[in-house]
Amino acid sequence: MSSVTPIKLQLNKRYPSYQLYAVAGTRQADPEEVFKTCVLHTYKWLRARFDGFALEDLAFPDPSESRSFDLSELRSVSLTDPYPIEVFWLPEDKVWCLRLTEPDNGNTATDFRPAREGVAGRFFETNVGYRITEAGVECGFNTVVSEPEGVDEHVESFRLACIKDIARDANAGLFHGYKLQDAPVSIGSGADVKKLVRWIRSDERQLPVIISDLGTPKADAKSFEALPSVEDFLRSRPLNQINLISQITAVRPSGPPAAPESRDAGDRVDIKKLARYRMGYAQYFLVEKDMSELLRKEFADGYRQGGLTVFEPSALGARVSSYDAFSEKTEQQLDAFASGYSAKKPMTFGNVLFAADARELSSRLVADLADSKEALVRAYEERIAAINARHEDEISSYRARLDDQVRETARLEKFIDNIQTQIAKEQMIRQKRHEEELERLSAGHEDALKELELYRGRERRPDDLKRIPEWVAAEFAGKLILHEKAVDLLGDLKSGEWNVDLICDALEFLATDYRDELTGAISESQMMENCSRKYGRPFDVTPLSFPSSGGAPKEYKIKYYVGYKGKPVESVLDLHLRVGNTSEDLIRIYFLYDSEKKLIVVGSLPKHLPTLSYK
């Protein structure tokens, strides 16, 4: 006689898929009328799902007849055929909820997803709950997936069709900060921007916000300031062909970055299409061009002008990401992101009760009304069973999320190990190349070493006028100083109105090549050649002369040289460096040269001081 081996049972995992919390109806609407509309839309959806089955318990009026429908006609229902359906109606608590359990039968193809076969052992538990509270009619929609451990086949987050019907119904509507609708919300005024910013930062938000910005894309200014690393540069070409200054000029252009290439507006990601198909998955906004800068100021570098920006809820990580509005992949990426966002997220549902909670509450009410010992025992047993079932659901859901986190942690650890290995190899290669190139430099390329030091010095340059004094003190000690009068003048100016890099070029020229020419270290022709090679332009330094009658105006004087009384006396700034030819683009540096200390003393910059021709 052959023995029969029992089939081993598999552990199941449970996790939430599609989830939505919203409030139905406006503040002016009658909550009971809104409540009836929501319930009847849900029954209509159920009847469509069970089309072909004669289920009298689902025979309720159409939502259009909600005003003639009375809440007393609602009842709790429990069905097992053709699929398990539980409906709880707790009139005293104004709670109605539904639980439908069904196997995974796969899905048909749509514009956004391919067809898929069902997965054996996978079940969907659809939970719907409505409750009348002070906030209005609170609505909760929660689909739970139950499947054997080890199942990895993708599962979609299905939104219930009745959600769209309720959202579109004039007698109801769904609100989650903003009204859920088939089109993106237009942001066209300052008030619109303020409201949107408050909502993005609200802890009550549980849906991701996706913004399509119609403003002009702006290049990242920092990317134009970035200089290549020494290792990258030294590796790029042989030293006998090297020209660090020309490379720096190529990376850091003197003018503003070129405007982005214009593209056909018809090529933009269709945010209206996404809003229409993915209502209830995310919230979509269309920012008009005039409002673009206001939002950028609110969110700084995290906001993408002319592109798309996604703000995840604060309670779920507050991650911000951006996308190119003209990329062919963006629409698919955003659709996949939105449609699966709520899966396995720890979302909350306000005061809404789902079937497990309603069963527990119903059991407690029955126990309170029990008129015999046996009835009381049965009621408490049902209550305990309901509590255990709810806790088992919660534990299973937490276990599924924990398993996902463990797998994701393992994946990230492996990814990090690979990256660290690659980085270590790359660092070794770069270090070796760096050392080889530095050895070649030290073998006799003095000019290249000087240019390398200049290159490194440019990396240390300030990008703000107020930091120039600190930079000068660190870079040119014993060669050039800024008098306190010059420091004060810089402190009164706005960096955005002056070319800080050009001012640094001029000061560097004075402290190096110009001073070397004064001290006789190099010739005038060498000075001019160095200036042209380093800065791509000449700097004109000339002496100043003043009328013998009046002498130098006070603007041209600083207290520097020590007088016979041992205190600094007024000293004339008799030299100046000129850059620019028009009144709109003038940079002047007024200074004197202390020949005893071989020190250049700057007393005024960068404005042109008044002369006889400037009244």
Each residue of 64-120: pLDDT tens digit? 999 999 999 999 999 988 999 999 999 999 999 999 999 998 887 776 667 888 898
Neighbour tally for 355: CB within 10 Å: 26
Domain residues of the chain, as ranges? 12-176, 185-339, 461-604
Q: Out of 377-391, 458-472, 510-524, 528-542, which region has the weakest mean confidence (pLDDT)? A: 377-391
pLDDT recorded at residue 245: 38
CB 44 within 8 A of CB 172: no
The DSSP output letter for 303 is: S
- The percentage of the chain sitting over the pLDDT mark of 90, rounded to a whole number, equals 52
Angle in degrees, CA 230, 235, 239, rounded to 5 = 95
Q: How confident is the model at residue 432 (pLDDT cuts 50, 70, 90)?
A: confident
The CB density around residue 505, as the number of other CB atoms within 10 Å, is 22
pLDDT at residue 161 tops 90? yes
Fold of 185-339: Glutaredoxin (3.40.30)
Q: pLDDT band for position 583 (50/70/90)?
A: low
Specify the pairing of strand 85-90 against strand 185-187: unpaired
Q: Report long-range pairs for 438-444 (Cβ below 8 Å, ≥24 apart).
A: 438/234, 440/239, 441/239
Q: At a CB cut-off of 8 Å and minimum separation 6, what does 359 contact?
A: 86, 88, 382, 386, 389, 390
**Identity of the highest mean pLDDT range in 119-133, 234-248, 433-447:** 119-133
Give the pLDDT score at 240. 40
Please state the separation of Cα 381 from the chain's center in Å.
51
> What is the mean predicted confidence (pLDDT) over 393-399?
68
The model's pLDDT over 326-344, given as tens digits with 9 standing for 90+, comes to 988 999 999 999 999 999 9
Distance, in Å, from the CA atom of 15 to the CA atom of 399, rounded to the nearest integer, reads: 9
Give whichever of 138-152, 189-203, 459-473 has the largest mean pLDDT: 189-203
Distance from C-alpha of 450 to C-alpha of 478, rounded to nearest angstrom: 19
Confidence of residue 242 (pLDDT cuts 50, 70, 90): very low
Residue at token pair 């995290």:
302
Confidence of residue 31 (pLDDT cuts 50, 70, 90): very high
CA-wise closest residue to 513 among 532, 490, 499, 489:
532
Residues 187-211 pLDDT 10s: 999 999 999 999 999 999 999 999 9
pLDDT at 390: 65
Cα-based torsion angle of the residue sequence 188, 281, 397, 90 in order, rounded to the nearest 10 degrees: 90
Beta bridge partners of 212: 286, 308
439: confidence class by pLDDT, cuts 50, 70, 90: confident
State the pTM of this model.
0.58
| Dihedral (Cα; 513, 516, 521, 522), 10-degree rounding | 30
Type of residue numbered 311: F
